[in-house]
Each structure stands twice: as C-alpha cells, then as structure tokens.
Amino acid sequence: MAIAIAVIVLALGSILFFFFSPWSLTPLASNWGAIDDTIHITLWVTGAVFVAVNLFLAYVIIRYRYHKQRRSHYEPENKKLEAWLTGLTTIGIAGLLAPGLLVWGSFVSPPEEAHEVEVVGQQWHWSFRFPGEDGRFGAVHNRHISDDNPFGMIDDPAGQDDVLVESPRLVLPVDRPVRMVLRSKDVLHNFKVANFRAKMDMLPGQTSYFWFTPTEVGEYEIVCAQLCGIAHFAMRGRVEVVEEEAFEEWLAGQPTHAELAAREPPDPQAGEGHYATCAACHGREGQGNPDLNAPKLAGLEGWYLERQLELFRNGARGTHDDDTFGQQMRPFAASLPDRQAVTDIAAYIEALPDEPVEASLTGNAERGARLYRTCGSCHGNEGQGIRATNAPRLAGMPDWYLARQLQNFREGVRGRHSEDPYGNQMVDMAQMLVNEQAVDDVVAYIMTLPRAGQVLAAVNPSGEEE
C-alpha cells in the first residue's frame, strides 16, 4: 500500500514541483522561441504520460494487492490491446518528433542576410573576429598561432580588415541574425549563452556553426558547455546586445588585423620619463617596497603591466571599498596621459633587472605544491607566466603581495569588476583556496620556484600587441 501511495504522491508531486519550483528556463533573448515551444510540447506530452502510467500503476497495486482467496488472471497475450498501445505510442512519438525536426530544419540553415562572427575558444578564454568591410574572413590556421598572432592569421588579403576582439567581451546588434562560426585553438569547447538557447561545440582543426537573432537588448553571460580542462568552470565571457548604432560604434573602435600589425613599437625611453613618479614607491629599479605596500614590478611581463595599468585607469581595479592599496594606485595610473604612455612605461619596466626577493611568510610548501597543480595550468608549472593563457609570472614575486592579492581575489575585493574578465577568472579559481592557511601554503610553494631572471631573456622584443 505504502508503495502505491508513494507512487501517487511522487507522480503528482513531480508535477507540482514543475509548476512551483523557482528553477525554469532562463528568459529568452533570441529568435529561438520555437525551441522553447518544442520543450513545452514535450513537457506536456511526457508529463501526461508520466502521470497516466504511474496513476494506473498505483491503481493496479492497490486493486490487485495480495489476497489469499484470489488467483491471478491468466492471460499470456492480448494482441488487440498490444496493437492499440503500440499504435498510440507511435502516434505520440511522431507528434513529438515532427515539430523537433521542423525546427531543426531552420536551425541548420542560417538566413542569407545573417552577418558573421567568429568565436575562437582556447583554454580558458574567448576571443572574437569580425570579417570587416569585405565581409570575408581571412584564412587562419592553428599552426600559425603564436603570442604575436593569437588568431593564427595567415597572410591573406581578405584578413587584413578582419576586426580582432581579444578580450572575452562580444557586442552584437539587436534584431540582426548572426551566424556564429566556431573554432578552437586547443581542446573542445562549447559556446553557450543560456538565454539564446542555441549552442554548439568548438573543435580544433575545423569550424562549426550555429545561428540566432538576438531579440532583447542586454548583457548575457557566455559559459563553456564542453569539458575543457580544470578551469572549464571559469571560462566565462560576456555578450552585450545593443542597438545597431551602438554596435557600429563599438565595432569601429576595435582594431583590425592590419592596424594591429602597423602599431608603433613602444618607446622605453619615454617610459623611463613616466616611471619617475612610480619610482617613489616601487623603487628606482622596480624592486618594490613592502613598507609602502608597493609590490615589485621588475620581472613582470609588459603585456601584464599594461593590462593592469589600463584596469586602474578605467576603474576596473582599485575601486573596491576594501581595496585600500588599490585605491592608492589609481590616481597615479590615471595621471598617465594616454594609451601610448601605458605601453611605454610597461616596456620600460619589463627591461628592468630582476632581483631576488626574500620570503616573509611561513606556509607549508609541500601542501602548497598540491594546490599549485591548478595554478600551473595557466601560470605554468614553473610559475613563469604564459602569454597565451593571459597568466602573469608568479615566480620571483614577493610573497606578501601574492598572498594579499589571493586574499583579495577570494573575497572579491579584486577581480569582480565586469570589465576585468581575467580578474573574474581568478576570483573563480581562488575559491579552491578554502582558508588563509591554503593561501600561505601555495605562496610558500611559489617562493620555492626558480626565480626566473633567466626566463626574461625569452621575452618577445616587440611585445606590442594588446
């Protein structure tokens, strides 16, 4: 008896749960209302069958529960009943399948007027490419990818006007169909924006596609939906859907391949001039000063310094209430006149001699080594920093500074700003450090890594791309 009641309660409870639970489809923001319709058709049909079968089951259990006097009815087959049931099921299935196939028909055929965006996935980062004026993408190949050529562009006239968007932030015009062309630099990824419904895997060595029309202005989160390694969960990006004019304006502000290639190399000489202000706290040689809470700068990569200065300048870093030292840094960064000054100063600092630092914290390096496995996937097993994964060098940096920043990431004091995608990623990753002890341990391990004055020689002399 209890089982029959359980079956009834569970069957009806499941239906009630569907109606009253707060978890349901995200608000639709694309043309794929038809996909939602197929989901709803399936829900209604399967829900009805679910309730019907289970209520009947419960009825049978109650009606035909054990009774001493009764013998069961002997009926090996009932061809008519079986034929009916088979027929009805087939009709039901066909009813589910038909709309599915119909919608799939439009899913696989993007409209003629759709514009194209290429999404490039890599471990654990998104970047985007627009075909530019000529409407054609230049040829690319994974073999050609390097720090200088992150998109793997091949020398192709069609590629010169391709607009390259390196940060994981995409802007799309509302109400214009877009065909997303997907590829990957390394493992499999999947470009997913829940509100758009459509998604597709991204493969290295070939392209895939899907299309949709954004219908709601707003900002949406891109997540990766195909297991791509340990930072899979932290592979995030943003799509902003805006009005047509705003989109055109944004697109015009993004550099083309040709523009990037023609960019002036930075001028360390000019950078030296700007550095005079910095030297007061960070030291003449960029060696840092713990008493003033000014970290060491020497030994950091130019691209990283440039990125952080930019973040300070536009308020994506150093604006959190609890980030006292970040707030101190902001006005200095803001005083730099322009982008060129940032590049120059970064180039100057990059060339400063890298001196070893003393350890000041006590953590358990052995335990830290286990934790560092995760860090090493982006920052390199030697903590040398990897340009391709946008991860700066850690080895040779002062431990007090590393520990403070890890704390800041953990608490969301640094990296939460929506303009700081790499900071976002660090916030996610720093969640694995469950307490201060874990932070100290991993920093202690980083202090044991070879101080990589040697590695500096390998730094790319041009180092000018964004």
Partner 1 sequence: MAEHGQESASYAAAGDLEEMELVHPRTFIGKYIWSQDAKVIAIQYGLTAMAIGLVALVLSILMRLQLGFPGVFSLIDPSSYLQYVSMHGMIMVVYLLTALFLGGFGNYLIPLMCGTRDMAFPYLNMLSFWFYLVSVLILVAGFFVPGGATGAGWTLYPPQAISPGTPGADGGVLLMFVSLIVFIAGFTMGGLNYIVTVLQARAQGMTLMRLPLTIWGIFMATVMALLAFPALLVAVLMMMCDMLLGTSFFMPEMLTLGEQSAHEGGSPLLFQHLFWFFGHPEVYIVALPAFGIVSDILATHARKNIFGYRMMVWAIIIIGVLSFVVWAHHMFVSGMNPYFGFLFATTTLIIAVPTAIKVYNWVLTLWKGNIHLTVPMLFAIGFIFTFVNGGLSGLFLGNVTVDVPLADTYFVVGHFHMVMAVAPVLVVFGAIYHWYPKITGRMLDDTLGKIHFWVTFLGAYAIFYPMHFLGFAGVPRRYYAYGETGYIADSVQALNAFISVAAIIVALTQLIFFFNLVWSYYRGRESGPNPWQATTLEWQTAHTPPRHGNFGERLPVVYRWAYDYGVPGAKQDYLPQNMPPEEVEAASDDAEADGEVRP
Binding to partner 1 in span 210-239, by CB under 8 A: 219-221, 223-234, 236
Read off the amino acid at residue 194.
A
Residue 459 interacts with partner 1 (CB under 8 A)?
A: no
Q: Which is closer to partner 1, CB of 292 or CB of 434?
A: 434
**One of 117, 342, 357, 371 touching partner 1 (CB under 8 A):** 371
Q: Which of 377, 463, 389 is nearest to 185 (CA)?
A: 389
Residue 25 interacts with partner 1 (CB under 8 A)?
A: yes
The span from the CA of 266 to the CA of 340, in Å, is 7
The span from the CA of 120 to the CA of 117, in Å, is 10
The span from the CA of 283 to the CA of 343, in Å, is 19
The span from the CA of 275 to the CA of 5, in Å, is 77
Residue 387 interacts with partner 1 (CB under 8 A)?
A: yes
Half-sphere exposure of 301 (CA within 13 A, CB side): 28
**One of 31, 123, 167, 287 touching partner 1 (CB under 8 A):** 123
Residue 435 interacts with partner 1 (CB under 8 A)?
A: yes
Q: Which is closer to partner 1, CB of 217 or CB of 388?
A: 388
> Looking at 71-79, 127-135, 161-169, 306-314, which segment touches partner 1 (CB under 8 A)?
71-79
The span from the CA of 362 to the CA of 296, in Å, is 19
**One of 5, 12, 16, 49 touching partner 1 (CB under 8 A):** 49
**One of 66, 264, 276, 321 touching partner 1 (CB under 8 A):** 66
Site for partner 1 in 26-45 (CB under 8 A): 26, 34-35, 38-39, 42, 45
Residue 75 interacts with partner 1 (CB under 8 A)?
A: yes
* Length in residues, the chain: 466
Q: Which is closer to partner 1, CB of 66 or CB of 252?
A: 66
> Looking at 138-146, 169-177, 304-312, 333-341, which segment touches partner 1 (CB under 8 A)?
138-146
Residue 97 interacts with partner 1 (CB under 8 A)?
A: yes
Residue 149 interacts with partner 1 (CB under 8 A)?
A: no
SS3 of residue 130 by DSSP: strand
Tell me, residue by residue from 189 to 208, as one string, x for binding to partner 1 by CB under 8 A and - for no binding.
-x-x-xx-xxxxxxxxxx-x
Q: What's the distance, CA 126 to chain centroid?
A: 6
SS3 of residue 237 by DSSP: strand
Minimum distance of partner 1 from residue 293's CB (angstroms): 27
Measured CA angle at 337 (ends 331, 334), to 5 deg = 15
Residue 279 interacts with partner 1 (CB under 8 A)?
A: no
Q: Which of 162, 167, 177 is nearest to 241 (CA)?
A: 177
For residue 13, count other CB atoms closer than 10 A to its CB.
Answer: 11
